[in-house]
Structure formats: C-alpha cells, structure tokens
Structure 1
Amino acid sequence: MSAARSSRSGRGGRTADPLAWRRAEPAALMLLRGPEDYAARWVTDRVVASLTARHGALETHRFRAADYRPGQLAQAASPSLFAEPTLIRVDGLESMNDAFLEDALHLVQQGPGAEDVTVVLRHTGGNRGKRLLDAVARAGTVVECPALKRDEDRLAFVQAEFRDARRRIDDDAARALVNATGTSLTDLAAACSQLLGDVDGPVTADHVQTYYGGRVEATSFAVADAALEGQAARAVSLVRHALATGVHPVMVTSVLALKARQVARIVDSGMGQGEIASALGIAPFQVRFVQQAARHWSPEGIARAVEWIAQADAEVKGASRNPDFAVERAVIRVATAVRR
C-alpha cells in the first residue's frame, strides 16, 4: 500500500477544518476516525464510487472488529478469482478484539499481498488499538470525522452541499435549515437533498419555511430563545407543541442549558461581537440573540435560571415521573424571571 498523508492537524484530535473530510481522496488504506457517522459514510461512498467507476465490478468484504475471527483479513485480501478489485471495510475499531488487532497490524505493516486491495477502517473514538491507529497514520490516510457541534460548522456544511451541487441557497435559508434540523448531520443532509431535488433555482427562506416551517418554529432552540428573552406565552406554546410533535424532553433541557450558559458567560462581560463569537464558538449571526438575551439578565438571575434548568434536566432523566411537566415548569420559571 502506498503511503499517504494523514489529515490530522496537531495533537488536539480536531482538524482545522471540520469539513476537511469532504476533500478526502480515496486511498489504498484509510482510517475514518471520529464520532460523525455521516462523514464516514460519505467518504466510504466516495471510495466505493471511485472503485466501481474505474473497475466496474467490486468484491466487498465487511467485518465488525469486535466479532473478528483470526485469518479473515488475510483471506479477504488474497487475490480474487476473477481478478476483481477488493474493498475491505471494518467497522467498530473502538471495540476491536485482540485477533483483529494482531491481523490488522500485520496487514498494515506487510501489505495485503495483492494489488487492487482497498482497506477502509472505521474508529469512532477512544484509545483502543492505539498501536494500529499509529501504524495506519504512518502507512495510509487518516480522515478525521469530527462531530459538528457548532451551528457555524453546520451552516458551512449546508453551503458546501449546495456549492457541490452548483446551486445557491440564501444565507437566511441556510440558517433556517440549520435551526430546523437540530444537531443531526444526517437529517441536515437529507433536508438539503430534498430542497435540491424539489426546488428549482435558488433556495430561499420561504422554501425552507414551506418544507420545515413547523420544525423551525417549534424546535428546542426556538423554545430556549423565547424563554431566555422573556416571551413566556410563546415559550410555553412552543414547548407544548415541540413535546406533542415528538421532541424529547431531554433535548429541550439540553438546549436550554446550552443557551443559558452562553448568556451567563457574557453577562456584564463587555465583550464585543467578535469576542463573543470566538468565546462561545457560535456563528456571527447568533451573537445578536445572545447579546439581546443577556440584556435581560443579571449574573444572579441567570445563575438561578441555570439551576432551574439543571433541576429539570435531572427530572427528565429519571428523577420525575412527569418529564413534560418538569420541562414546562422550567420554561415558565426562566421566562418569567427575565428582568425588564
């Protein structure tokens, strides 16, 4: 297997560009490392497409590292009867057994022994099999698949999806789509695909509203925004609608906690817009909301709000028999505590 450069950048484990996986080129030996399954699937699909485009037929072997039996890698990597290229996919390296570790180290260090063999390994995180991970980093290509935790990163993902399709999406539409789909990159990608397939021409905020209006209005983020700005009636209406349409209570408390912590960090801080975006890791378009919400709170008040939210979070995780009530009570407490 020919050596290829790892996509890592530094010891922090996070790539400088969280979307760098979109530029990963297929290689003979690849390690897809990180928690984002959508990114790993995207890269794997690209590898499969590249191999089938060049060769037509493709022999594929797929294993789970935890269930691996000795000798399976060597057998899969042996020359195909019909001289077809071979793809070996191994998932769950974070739970690999000792037999897989031994055979995989041998395969990486000695090579597969046959041409046209491509090996794609999937490791979601942790230190299990560090010797193997280091060996792959030296001999092949490491593609980081980090979770896109920041709205700014998910916004960049939407823009990349439309740019690759040679289509345009308005900035307001992209932001609305991020707000509508929550934190799942799979859901966000599916929403992009639907809009690309159903809408002719540039995608606007009106298109997003048509397809995802209910989700935009009643997501956990909309609930948190309304509560922290003191819009009690709206916040209660939104949280009831969100819970009634399948939003899990823990999602509401999690986002409430996230937003409240953001406000707590900048209350009376005197930071400018750029400093807030950097300190909180949020997109510039979100800074205005945090600044507006912070004007309604004192340090003592937001501290009490954080405590109420933490209590509700514990209740929805098992400390209460009525998690919906716990969430609604927290929303009311927060929204009515806002100073005017």
Structure 2
Amino acid sequence: MPPRSGSRAKSTGTDFRAVEPAPLILLKGSEDYVATRALDRVKAELKSRHPELEYTRLDVSAATPGELSTLASPSLFGEPRLILAEDLAQMNDTFLGEALQFLEEPADADVTLIFRHSGGNRGKKLLDALGAKAVVVDCAPVKSDNDKLDFLRQEFRAAARTIHPDAARALVAAAGSTLSDLGSAAQQLMRDITGDITAEEVDKYFGGRVEASAFKVADAAFEGRTEAATRLYRHAVATGVSPVAITAALARKGRQIAALVDHRGPQNQLASALGLPPWQLRQAAETARRWSPRAAADAVEAVAQADAEVKGLSRAPEYAVEKAIGRVSASING
C-alpha cells in the first residue's frame, strides 16, 4: 500500500505549546506534564473545529485484533475522531503489528492518532517509522534548575508576559519539585497579576512552600547570624532547595539593605520603588540599621560572585554559596 498521504516528516523537538492537529502525532519522552499539555492543545483545537469530535483512549497493552483499524475506520455519520494510544512501552504484539500496518495505509482526513511513548526499547521499529511520518513532540524530562528556568522563560514568552530573573529562580525554588507544580504556579501568577512578575510576588504566593526556604537563609545571613544561616542553608540544600534559589534570595535581600542604608525619604516611597509591602520594608529596615554603605556594598559583591559561580563558574556551587553566606554575615559583624 502507498504511504499515508497526509503525513510528513518532522524533526524531533516540536514544542508542545505550538503543536497543531495532524494525522499522526508522537508524544516522545517521560515528562507527563508536557505530554498532557500537548494532548490538551490538540484536543481543544479539534473540538473548536468539530464539536462532535469522538475521543478514544486505546489500551495498547490489551489491544485485540482489528481494534485499531475499527476505531480508525470511517464513521457512519462522519464524526472526526481523536485516538490516543498510550504507553507504547507496554504494547502487545497485536497492537505493534496493526500499528505498523496502519502507518502504510492511506490517511483518513477525519482521524487524528496520537501515540504516547515515555521510554524504553519496546517497539523500536514502530518508533522509527513514526519518527519519519509523525509530528514528534519533545516530552523529554525536565530535571535541572537550568532546564526549569528555561521552561519558565518559554512559558512567559509564549504568553507575551515577563518574569524577572530573580522571580523565576525563586519560583523554581518554591514550586519546582515537579514540572506540573511549576507550570501550574506560572499559570496562576499570570492569571492573578497583570504586570511583570517580581520576586516579591512569587514570595507572596509561594514563599511558604519550601521547607527550609531560601528567604530564611537570607534573613539570617543579613542579620549577622552566621551559624544559623549556615545551618539553615545546609538543611535547605539537603531538602531540595537549589543553590541558585539561595543566591536569588540573598541578592534580593542585599538590594533591600543597600537601598535602605542611604535612604532618607519617606519609607512608603521606597516600598513602592522596591515593590515591597510596607510590613516587609519595615522588617528590612530594622536589619539595615546595623549596616554601613560600605558593608552593604561588600555583601552585594559577595552574593554576585556566588551567583556567577553557581551558574557555571564553579565546580562546587554549594560551597560557593556557603562561602558567600559567611562573607555576608561577617560584613555586618565586622
């Protein structure tokens, strides 16, 4: 039989935010959140075009002879169909054989077939065939903080919104345990806040979600409590808080202290300029009274150095941050 006429080769890596309905789609990779977003996007687009869309989830581990061809055959009333073949790593031989045959048959314009493969070597022949004929959506796992930060930047860019770099790092620290949590947190911020997303707003919404928060580390360091700051930092890292998140919190606290040290006008004006609620500014002002302009500048410099080191200049980022915490807390005591 001739190859399916409605499909065309795609390179791997199609972004889930941009995928459009196609006769064949492969969701490739173990990141469930990305795969779900891609599926929801395709389904919503098809439903907008065809309210009568039929949606079927096919259990490929228990597929029976003829099941796939029956589901994908022309409907008596011509309703468009969306079929999801889940978990290809668990497919039985019956489905494997029928899927390979299906790819060689002429396309039915009313059928969208989505394959989901989260990993493993099962069905390599089918995956190779899909790689040449299907739209392949990259659902690779997102694990590192840098990957999560890149994910956030793309989420906000796709929505034509802006999140400040320190806010993005704080959000990863507060809600980045899973991509689902991180994506949901980003969507909530974009729904609730009309302007740019700042670190203060991230703290307001999600600051309490980290067991040993980066902000507690920063507070202790700038209050000169070296032992407490070091203990909190080590506990934070041990419970999953990244060094990047700690430097983000230290940098924000440093900016507050530096601004308050030389400030002579009404505090409400400074609160507005820094984007802080009045109570938070009052708290920072209590700490700033113990700082000199020179000491504040030294602390900011130490944090900036640590931030650069955790982003690639150092092979020991955790130690780099701990050293910066020591320098900050020593500055006030010195």
Instruction: Using structure 1 for the length normalisation, give the TM-score.
Output: 0.64
Q: Which residue of 2 aligns with 1:101?
A: 96
The Cα offsets for residues 109-156 of structure 1, whole Å up to 9 and x where unpaired, read as 2245x3310000000011100011111112222222111122222112
Match of 1:6 among 3, 10, 13: 10
Q: Which residue of 1 aligns with 2:193?
A: 199
The Cα offsets for residues 136-178 of structure 1, whole Å up to 9 and x where unpaired, read as 1122222221111222221122122222222222121111101
C-alpha contact 1:4 1:27 (8 A) present in aligned 2? no
Structure 2 residues without counterparts, runs of 5 or longer: 243-304, 325-334
The Cα offsets for residues 185-240 of structure 1, whole Å up to 9 and x where unpaired, read as 100011011111222322111100101112256269999xx9xxx96534655788
Match of 2:79 among 63, 84, 89: 84
Quick one: structure 1 residues 97 and 140, their matched pair in 2 at CA, closer, same or farther if it must change by over 3 Å? same
TM alignment of 1:1-340, pairs within 5 A: 1=4, 2-8=6-12, 20-111=15-106, 114-216=108-210, 218=212, 232-234=227-229, 236=231, 252=238, 283=311, 289-290=317-318, 292-293=320-321
The Cα offsets for residues 213-271 of structure 1, whole Å up to 9 and x where unpaired, read as 12256269999xx9xxx96534655788x8xxxxxxxx946779xxxxxxxxxxxxxxx
> SS at the partner of 2:150?
helix
In the TM superposition, residue 34 of structure 1 has moved relative to its aligned partner by: 0.6
C-alpha contact 1:67 1:97 (8 A) present in aligned 2? yes
Quick one: structure 1 residues 239 and 212, their matched pair in 2 at CA, closer, same or farther if it must change by over 3 Å? farther
The Cα offsets for residues 288-337 of structure 1, whole Å up to 9 and x where unpaired, read as 955724869xxxxxxxxxxxxxxxxxxxxxxxxxxxxxxxxxxxxxxxxx
Quick one: structure 1 residues 293 and 164, their matched pair in 2 at CA, closer, same or farther if it must change by over 3 Å? closer
Quick one: distance in 2 between partners of 1:208 and 1:132? 44
Instruction: Using structure 2 for the length normalisation, give the TM-score.
Output: 0.65
> SS at the partner of 2:82?
strand
C-alpha contact 1:151 1:283 (8 A) present in aligned 2? no
Q: How many residues align?
A: 254
Quick one: structure 1 residues 294 and 171, their matched pair in 2 at CA, closer, same or farther if it must change by over 3 Å? closer
Quick one: structure 1 residues 57 and 287, their matched pair in 2 at CA, closer, same or farther if it must change by over 3 Å? farther
> SS at the partner of 2:136?
strand
Quick one: distance in 2 between partners of 1:52 and 1:23? 17
C-alpha contact 2:26 2:116 (8 A) present in aligned 1? yes
The Cα offsets for residues 42-98 of structure 1, whole Å up to 9 and x where unpaired, read as 111111122112222201111122122222111101112321111110111011111
C-alpha contact 1:70 1:99 (8 A) present in aligned 2? yes
Quick one: distance in 2 between partners of 1:222 and 1:95? 46
Q: Which residue of 2 aligns with 1:329?
A: none
C-alpha contact 1:5 1:140 (8 A) present in aligned 2? yes
Q: Which residue of 2 aligns with 1:259?
A: none
Quick one: structure 1 residues 47 and 222, their matched pair in 2 at CA, closer, same or farther if it must change by over 3 Å? farther
Q: CA RMSD in A?
A: 3.7
The one-letter code matched in structure 2 to 1:115 is: A
Quick one: distance in 2 between partners of 1:85 and 1:55? 7
Give identity over the alignment, percent: 43
Quick one: structure 1 residues 99 and 160, their matched pair in 2 at CA, closer, same or farther if it must change by over 3 Å? same
